[in-house]
C-alpha cells in the first residue's frame, strides 16, 4: 500500500495499439490476467467474442489464458422482443420433433398405400376396393400398414439357413477335419442384407401373384391363386437356396491351399515353370 507502483502503459493484445495511438478508444480489463495481456480495447474484444461465439450470441466465453469467464451486460429487452424470442426458441426446440413426425408420417402413409395396393393385388382389384370401402376406417389405418411390416418380419425368418445347418450337422457328424462356417447371404456387410430383405419382402406379393397366375391358372379365386403362388415360390426358392448353400459349403470345405512354388534346387521343375511364365509376361 505504501509502495505506489507506476502503472505501465496500456496496450491492446488484439490490435497491439497503445493508449497514445487512440486516445478516445474504450479500454477494458475483463479477466484476472496481469501484465501485457491485462488490457484490451472494448471494440477489439467485441470482435473477438463474435468470432468465438459464431452466431450463438448467448454462449459463455472465457479468457484463453486465465480461464476467467467474461461478464457481459446486455441492454434490457422489451416485452415484445422477449415474447418473440420465446416463440423463436420454442419453434427451434419443436422443429426436430416435427421433422421426425414428417418422416414417420411419410413412411406410415407409404405403408398404408402399399398395404392397400397389396390387398387389391391379392384378392383382385374390384373385390379389394369393395372390401376396403366397407371396412372400418380405423381398422384400415391400423391394419394396412401392418402388411409390409409382417412381410418384412416374415422375410427375416431364415429357415433355409436352419435346414443347411441341420444338414451340415448330420452329414459331417464325427468328422475330425476342420469345417468352415456356413457362408452368409452375399457376405458383404449388413446394409446389403437389410436392403435385400426389405426389397425382397416388398416385391413378394407381386411375385406370388405372378407365380399363382402362371402355375395355378385353373383356380377360380384370386386369393387362393395368389396364396398358392406365394407358397410355391417360397418352396422353390427355399429348395434352390438350400441346394446352393450346401454346394457353397462343400466347395468351401474342399478348398485346398497350395505350396508356394520353390525356386531352389529342391523343386527345379516348378521353379522353371514360374521362370518361363515370368519371361513370357515381360
- Report, in Å, the least distance between residue 237 CB and its own copies: 10
**Is the Cβ–Cβ distance between 10 and 19 less than 8 Å?**
yes
Q: Looking only at Cα atoms, what is the longest distance across the chain? A: 116
| Per-residue buried b or exposed e for 34-47, using 16+ beta carbons within 10 Å of the residue's own CB | eeebbbbbeebbee
104 near its own copies (CB under 8 A): no
Tell me which stretch binds its own copies (CB under 8 A): 65-73, 128-136, 139-147, 159-167: 65-73
Closest approach of its own copies to the CB of residue 221, in Å: 29
Q: Inter-axis angle of helices 190-215 and 79-123, to 10 degrees? A: 40
CB atoms within 10 A of CB 168: 19
- Identity of the residue, 190 or 282, whose beta carbon is nearer to its own copies in the bound complex: 190
**Binders in 4-43 for its own copies, by CB under 8 A:** 28-32, 42-43
Q: Residue 131 Cβ, how far from its own copies at the closest point, in Å?
A: 22
Number of residues that bind its own copies (CB under 8 A): 79
How far, rounded to the nearest angstrom, does the alpha carbon of residue 121 sit from its chain's CA centroid? Answer: 32
260 forms part of the interface with its own copies (CB under 8 A): yes
Q: How many CB atoms lie within 10 A of CB 251?
A: 11
- Phi, then psi, of 13 in degrees rounded to 5: -80, 5
Does residue number 55 form part of the binding site for its own copies (CB under 8 A)? yes
Restricted to residues 147-206, the positions that interact with its own copies (CB under 8 A) are 177-178, 180-181, 183-188, 191-192, 194-196, 198-199, 202
Q: How far is the CB of 25 from its own copies (least distance, A)?
A: 10
Shortest Å, Cβ 208 to its own copies: 17
Identity of the residue, 129 or 185, whose beta carbon is nearer to its own copies in the bound complex: 185
Q: Is 114 exposed, middle or buried (0-12, 13-18, 19+ CB in 10 A)?
A: middle
Could you say which residues in the range 225-244 bind its own copies, by CB under 8 A? 240, 243-244
Amino acid at each position: 500500500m505504501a509502495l505506489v507502483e507506476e502503472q505501465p502503459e496500456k496496450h491492446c493484445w488484439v490490435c497491439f495499439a497503445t493508449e497514445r495511438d487512440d486516445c478516445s478508444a474504450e479500454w477494458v480489463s475483463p479477466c484476472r490476467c496481469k501484465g501485457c495481456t491485462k488490457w484490451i480495447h472494448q471494440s477489439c474484444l467485441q470482435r473477438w467474442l463474435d468470432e468465438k461465439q459464431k452466431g450463438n450470441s448467448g454462449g459463455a466465453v472465457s479468457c484463453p489464458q486465465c480461464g476467467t469467464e467474461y461478464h457481459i451486460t446486455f441492454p434490457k429487452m422489451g416485452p415484445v422482443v422477449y415474447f418473440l424470442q420465446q416463440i423463436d426458441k420454442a419453434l427451434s426446440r419443436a422443429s426436430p420433433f416435427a421433422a421426425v413426425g414428417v418422416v414417420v408420417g411419410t413412411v406410415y402413409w407409404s405403408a398404408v398405400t402399399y398395404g392397400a395396393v397389396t390387398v387389391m393385388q391379392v384378392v383382385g382389384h374390384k373385390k379389394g376396393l369393395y372390401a376396403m370401402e366397407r371396412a372400418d376406417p380405423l381398422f384400415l389405418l391400423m391394419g394396412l400398414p401392418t402388411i409390409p411390416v409382417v412381410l418384412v418380419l416374415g422375410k427375416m425368418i431364415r429357415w433355409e439357413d436352419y435346414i443347411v445347418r441341420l444338414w451340415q450337422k448330420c452329414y459331417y457328424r464325427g468328422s475330425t477335419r476342420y469345417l468352415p462356417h456356413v457362408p452368409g447371404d452375399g457376405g458383404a456387410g449388413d446394409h446389403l442384407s437389410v436392403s435385400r430383405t426389405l426389397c425382397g419382402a416388398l416385391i413378394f406379393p407381386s411375385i406370388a401373384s405372378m407365380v399363382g397366375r402362371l402355375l395355378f391358372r385353373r383356380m377360380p379365386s384370386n386369393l387362393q391363386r395368389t396364396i398358392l403362388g406365394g407358397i410355391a415360390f417360397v418352396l422353390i426358392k427355399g429348395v434352390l437356396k438350400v441346394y446352393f448353400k450346401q454346394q457353397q459349403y462343400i466347395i468351401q470345405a474342399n478348398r485346398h491351399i497350395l505350396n508356394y512354388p520353390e525356386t531352389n534346387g529342391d523343386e527345379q521343375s516348378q521353379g522353371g515353370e514360374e521362370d518361363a511364365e515370368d519371361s513370357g509376361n515381360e
